[in-house]
Chain A
Amino acid sequence: MSSYLDTGGRGGIAGWIFSTDHKRIGILYLATMTGLFFVAVVIGVLMRVEQLVLDPPLFAPQVYNAFFTVHGVIMIFMFVLPGLGAVFGNFFLPIMIGARDVSFPRLNLMSWYAFVAGTVIVFVSLFTGDGAPDTGWTFYVPFSVRTGTNVTLGLTGVFMLGFSSILTGLNFITTIHRLRAPGMTWHRMPLFAWSLYGTAWVQLLATPIVGITLLLVIAERVFGIGVFDPAKGGDPILYQHLFWTYSHPAVYIMILPAMGAITEILPTFAHRTVFGYKAIAYSSMAIAFLGSLVWGHHMFTSGMSEQANLLFSLFTFLVAVPSAIKVFNWTSTLYKGSIEVRPPMLYALTFVFLFAIGGLTGLMQGALAVNVHLHDTYFIVGHFHYVMFGGTGVAFFAALLYWFPKMFGRTYNERVANLAWAPIFVGFNLLYFGMLVLGYMGMPRRYFTHLPQYHTGHVIASVGSFILAAGLVLFFANLVVALLRGKRAESNPWGGVTLEWRIGSPPPAENFDVIPEIQGRPYRFNPEVSE
């Protein structure tokens, strides 16, 4: 049976961009997102260079404003938000549940087109009009309404990206409900699929809110309707409510599939079944639900009422419970396992460590009094990079290393992958732990310059960013070499037990000759032991 990489009739680029095969669409997302990721990495490094060269500044303050806006918009809306769901969800969800494709393959391709269209519009906004958007990725009013830069076009691009997310979520929900193989009950579904299911609901329910909100900002800029303008009876804090009602759940859109991927990797390399299957599955749903109720913790210092502050602080602490359940289950999965630290496992363990730091620093900010001190400082920047990059980003790398042989039928150099880990880990912690310390000392975020007392911290963070960037280049170069010259991969190089490891590498065009019948739970490394 020919693999999905063998062009059936339509060759070249057309064979990819007009293909409705879920695996090809997953690869399209991977290629697009990796390219965008490196653009944002370069901008991030340039920002760190700006903090090294103070007098005169390397880039004008307005350029720095555009840098952090574009860096944020690309990383958030074009990399971590589609993230593991768009790449590995598209590629592996149908295979893991024993289906030949997603429920709506054409809609799936359309969601990629919407993603590309949104990306192109955002990039056009950088080079047209009266300058690149300079609001930060949050587009807060009143500044986003008053600034003369090209915010309207930028918002239109982000609006399109939201469409892509909604369509993917809709597709995943329908696929999971309708296309599971015979015998695959909810409790026999792999946990990566569970995490995609929780994520998809958030995508479907929360993304329209931000879509409408961004349209309101456009209407405010173009027609002056006054929804967010107090002079016309509007409320600027309402914007923050509406924005974060989506954008905090969006953080869980970003992290849940990452947690799902880690939950696939750990049992495979501990060679034992996952600890607390149901607890992990339901904690995904609990995170999706509770995560939708904590948006106000971004607004503790915005002038919200005391009562709302208390409620949102409470919910913030509550959402830590299902997150901690996952961490405990991961560590319990390792306990007494036969642990093999190969590259995917190394990155997965790194995820657990970095995510724990990100999560705990998040709890610090959930406390009202501490939040007042830390708000809008580098501490926040450090915290969300620990969660989004140390969490989602590193999990993305772990998932890529885990599923690379399956996706492309090639093996990579494991020693180089391990070698790349060192600069990534060291550089990451120098950069972002440095930011945590700087923020605690009082360094505000989004400033193009800093006072002398912060300079040492900035130098450390900047050096960390250079080391990190070098590690990232090595990491991806290794995979590109493997893609071109790597040895042929076996169908199951890691000894995995979920369905994707039972088909060839790379997978056949329609995944299965015969749809499999599922007999038991997904993580049975020793089938003789009864469930």
Chain B
Amino acid sequence: MDRTGSETHVMPYRTLVRVWLVLLGLTGALVAAGTTLHPSLSVWAMLVITPVKAGLIFYYFMHLKYEKPLLTGLVFVTLGLLVLVIGLLFSDLFYR
């Protein structure tokens, strides 16, 4: 597969629909966690589910799938760092 990113890639509609359904499911899970769980727990649910959703969008809808591994890695490391930073912040806010 060409990984130069210089040409247009066509993602099959079937894949896009499947990812969209997964995203809908995850959004439902997020709403359920927000309404049923204790606030401190729902934050952790958010910290797990939201990056997964963002990752899926980057990977499929924003065509990160066709980029070089280095760029893919940089995006996901940055996303992971963001989650870690926010997680550490909440380790303070919810246990004071």
Q: Is B92 an interface residue (CB 8 A)?
A: yes
Among B4-12, B26-34, B54-62, B81-89, which stretch is in contact with chain A?
Answer: B81-89
Whether A308 and B92, one on each chain, are in contact in the complex, defined by CB atoms closer than 8 angstroms, is yes
B59-96 residues at the A interface, CB under 8 angstroms: 78, 81, 84-85, 88-89, 91-96
Q: Which residues of B contact A292 (CB under 8 A)?
A: 81, 85
Which of B88, B89, B92, B94: most chain A Cβ within 10 A? B92
Q: How far is the CB of B68 from chain A (nearest CB, A)?
A: 10
Whether B91 and A308, one on each chain, are in contact in the complex, defined by CB atoms closer than 8 angstroms, is yes
Q: How far is the CB of B3 from chain A (nearest CB, A)?
A: 15
CA distance A305 to B95 in the complex (A): 5
Contact with B along A466-479 (1 / 0, CB 8 A): 00000000000000
Whether A293 and B92, one on each chain, are in contact in the complex, defined by CB atoms closer than 8 angstroms, is no
Closest to B82 in A: A205
Q: Which residues of A contact B96 (CB under 8 A)?
A: 303-305
Q: Which residues of B contact A293 (CB under 8 A)?
A: 84-85, 88
Partner of A305, one of B81, B84, B92: B92
Size of the chain B interface, CB-CB below 8 angstroms = 12
Partner of B88, one of A205, A296, A306: A296
Q: Which residues of A contact B92 (CB under 8 A)?
A: 237, 241, 296, 304-305, 307-308
Closest to A305 in B: B95
Q: Which residues of B contact A296 (CB under 8 A)?
A: 88, 92
CA distance A93 to B91 in the complex (A): 39
Partner of A205, one of B81, B89, B91, B95: B81
Where chain B touches its partner, the secondary structure class is helix
CA distance A245 to B84 in the complex (A): 11
Q: How far is the CB of A238 from chain B (nearest CB, A)?
A: 8
CA distance A237 to B89 in the complex (A): 11
Q: How far is the CB of B87 from chain A (nearest CB, A)?
A: 9
Whether A307 and B95, one on each chain, are in contact in the complex, defined by CB atoms closer than 8 angstroms, is yes
Q: Is A289 an interface residue (CB 8 A)?
A: yes
Closest to A242 in B: B89
Q: Is A172 an interface residue (CB 8 A)?
A: no
Size category of the A interface is 10 to 19
Closest to A245 in B: B85
Closest to B96 in A: A305
CA distance A24 to B94 in the complex (A): 51
Q: Is A212 an interface residue (CB 8 A)?
A: no
Where chain A touches its partner, the secondary structure class is helix
Contact with B along A264-296 (1 / 0, CB 8 A): 000000000000000000000000010011001
Whether A308 and B81, one on each chain, are in contact in the complex, defined by CB atoms closer than 8 angstroms, is no
Q: Is A159 an interface residue (CB 8 A)?
A: no
Q: How far is the CB of A79 from chain B (nearest CB, A)?
A: 27
Q: Is A515 an interface residue (CB 8 A)?
A: no
CA distance A205 to B78 in the complex (A): 8
CA distance A293 to B94 in the complex (A): 18
Q: How far is the CB of A166 from chain B (nearest CB, A)?
A: 15
Whether B85 and A308, one on each chain, are in contact in the complex, defined by CB atoms closer than 8 angstroms, is no
Whether A311 and B91, one on each chain, are in contact in the complex, defined by CB atoms closer than 8 angstroms, is yes
Q: How far is the CB of A233 from chain B (nearest CB, A)?
A: 13
CA distance A41 to B91 in the complex (A): 40
Q: How far is the CB of A237 from chain B (nearest CB, A)?
A: 8
CA distance A308 to B96 in the complex (A): 9
Q: Is A312 an interface residue (CB 8 A)?
A: yes
Closest to B91 in A: A308
CA distance A264 to B30 in the complex (A): 51
Q: Which residues of A contact B91 (CB under 8 A)?
A: 305, 307-308, 311
Q: How far is the CB of B60 from chain A (nearest CB, A)?
A: 24
Q: Which residues of A contact B88 (CB under 8 A)?
A: 293, 296, 308, 311-312
CA distance A296 to B94 in the complex (A): 15
A233-251 residues at the B interface, CB under 8 angstroms: 235, 237, 241, 245
CA distance A307 to B89 in the complex (A): 11
Q: Which residues of A contact B93 (CB under 8 A)?
A: 235, 305
A301-319 residues at the B interface, CB under 8 angstroms: 303-308, 311-312
Closest to B77 in A: A289
Q: Which residues of B contact A237 (CB under 8 A)?
A: 92
Whether B95 and A308, one on each chain, are in contact in the complex, defined by CB atoms closer than 8 angstroms, is yes
Which of A235, A289, A293, A308: most chain B Cβ within 10 A? A308
Closest to B70 in A: A177
Q: How far is the CB of A497 from chain B (nearest CB, A)?
A: 28
CA distance A308 to B84 in the complex (A): 13
Q: How far is the CB of A169 from chain B (nearest CB, A)?
A: 13
CA distance A248 to B78 in the complex (A): 18
CA distance A305 to B90 in the complex (A): 10
CA distance A340 to B94 in the complex (A): 56
Q: Which residues of B contact A304 (CB under 8 A)?
A: 92, 96
Q: Which residues of B contact A289 (CB under 8 A)?
A: 81
Closest to A177 in B: B70
Q: Which residues of B contact A303 (CB under 8 A)?
A: 96
Closest to A237 in B: B92
CA distance A296 to B91 in the complex (A): 11
Q: Which residues of A contact B89 (CB under 8 A)?
A: 241, 245
CA distance A245 to B86 in the complex (A): 10
Seed contacts A292-B81, A292-B85, A308-B95; 6 additional CB < 8 Å A-B pairs: A205-B81, A241-B89, A293-B85, A304-B96, A305-B96, A308-B88
Chain A contact residues, CB within 8 Å of chain B: 205, 235, 237, 241, 245, 289, 292-293, 296, 303-308, 311-312
A-B contact pairs, 19 of them (CB 8 A): A205-B78, A205-B81, A237-B92, A245-B85, A289-B81, A292-B85, A293-B84, A293-B85, A296-B92, A304-B92, A304-B96, A305-B92, A305-B94, A305-B95, A305-B96, A306-B95, A308-B88, A308-B91, A311-B91
